[in-house]
Amino acid sequence: MKETIQVFDYAERIGKALPRGILLNTGGDGFNSMVIGWGHLGLVWSLPTFVVYVREHRYTKARLDKTREFTVSVPLGDPDPEITRICGTLSGRDTDKAAAARLTLEAPRTIGTPGIAEYPLTLECRVLYAQAQVLADIPEEIRRRMYPQDLDSSHPLANRDAHTAYIGQIVDAYIIRPEETFSAGDASVTLRAMAPADYDQVWGLWMSCKNMGFNTTDDSREGVEKLLRRNPGTSFVALSGDRVIGVILAGQDGRRGYIYHACTAEAWRGRGIASRLVQRALDALKQAGIHKVALLVFQYNEAGNAFWEKMGFTRREDVAYRNRLLSALVRIDT
């Protein structure tokens, strides 16, 4: 599935990913992808845009000039070093990068250029305007460093060629969410990332589960949507058809991962759904660079404590949990 996003909600994430390498994809006669470390998200002519820079003799430039469209693919965790090596050092003139890097191409929604499942934050862009740089107008220190005239156009990094800036209107923006379907007894269940549109069903499920704690601020629609924006791809739902029958809400702060609420509808328990939800969340947090995950369970929730013990979450007897309210919260204990 493709979860539509408000692109400027992800500006910080895109900005932090750029220096480490994101992917610029072109279509037309086949598919090609190259690593870029320059670019910027913004507004031009009151339109949401992403600007990319491509050197004169790059294979990508001729493709952009022909198709006048591109996709940008951004990882949600660390960039894959093998994808970076292949798409950042080899030329599409003589290498099928999608095959060499084992990229999973995802059909676009609005333009003709695919996205990439491994780098799921996707911007579909149509070129509005292109302008070649004039090297003589660039400060000398930058010109010497970025455009060394002793390196010819074939060099994969800095070389003598100037860039052309392509201003692309962002016509679609989304996160590619993989789905997993499995048998749960005599029924088929689908696991996928939680989306804001799932909230009403998720809230109803939470209220049906005993011995859990919520509040009207963090667990409100706005609070959950904020968590999902900050932590894309770490919370999941289980569905029977279109009905949510299980959920795990999880996130991370860059140092630790946290599981906030996890539950399965009573009629669906004992079929391994909760275990799969937990594992999907743990895998996503690990992919984001998290090494330790914590959660809170009421002491009197015997079934919950037994489940988390089974899942490998050890109980700490050497710490006292403390918190302090910064604003008033209304608790809801089920």
In the chain, where are the structural domains located?
Answer: 2-176, 180-333
Per-residue pLDDT, averaged over 255-284, amounts to 93
pLDDT at 228: 87
Spelled out in words, what is the top-level CATH class assigned to the domain 180-333? alpha beta
Closest CA to 7 of 124, 165, 178: 124
Is 231's pLDDT higher than 90?
A: no
For 84-125, what is each residue's pLDDT tens digit? 999 999 999 999 999 999 999 988 999 999 999 999 999 999
2-176 sits in which CATH class? mainly beta
Instruction: Give CA–CA dist 54/50, Å, rounded.
Output: 13
Buried b (16+ CB within 10 A) or exposed e, 262-277: bbbbeebeebbbbebb
Most confident of 226-230, 235-239, 324-328: 235-239
Closest by CA to 217, choosing from 208, 228, 225, is: 225
Q: What is the mean predicted confidence (pLDDT) over 322-333? A: 90
Percentages of the chain per state (helix, strand, coil), in multiples of 5: 30, 30, 40
For residue 205, is pLDDT > 90? yes
- pTM higher than 0.85, yes or no? no
What is the reported pLDDT for 71? Answer: 98
Residue 275 pLDDT exceeds 90: yes
Kindly state the average pLDDT of the residues 156-165.
88
Residues in the chain: 334
Which of 173-182, 267-276, 288-297 is least confident? Answer: 173-182
| Strand blocks (E) in 163-235 | 163-176, 180-184, 187-193, 213-215
Q: What local confidence, expressed as pLDDT, does residue 186 receive?
A: 86
Cα–Cα distances (Å) from 259 to 29, 196, 292, 316, in that order, read 45, 18, 11, 16
Give per-residue burial for 305-332: e unless 16+ CB within 10 Å, then b: bebbeeeebeeeeeeeeeeeeeeeeeee
Mean pLDDT of the chain: 92
Cβ pair 307, 263 in contact under 8 A: no
- Residue 244's pLDDT band, with cuts at 50, 70 and 90, is very high
State the pLDDT confidence band at 291, using cuts at 50, 70 and 90: very high
Q: How far is the C-alpha of 309 from the C-alpha of 311, rounded, in Å?
A: 5
What's the confidence (pLDDT) of residue 268? 93
The per-residue pLDDT for 189 is 92
CA–CA gap between residue 72 and residue 177 (Å, rounded) = 16
Residue 280: which H helix or E strand, with range? helix 273-287
Q: What is the pLDDT of residue 287?
A: 79
Q: What mean pLDDT do residues 138-143 have?
A: 94
Tens digits of per-residue pLDDT, 37-95? 999 999 999 999 999 999 999 999 999 999 999 999 999 889 999 999 999 999 999 99
**pLDDT band for position 257 (cuts 50, 70, 90):** very high
Q: Are 234 and 284 in contact (CB under 8 A)?
A: yes
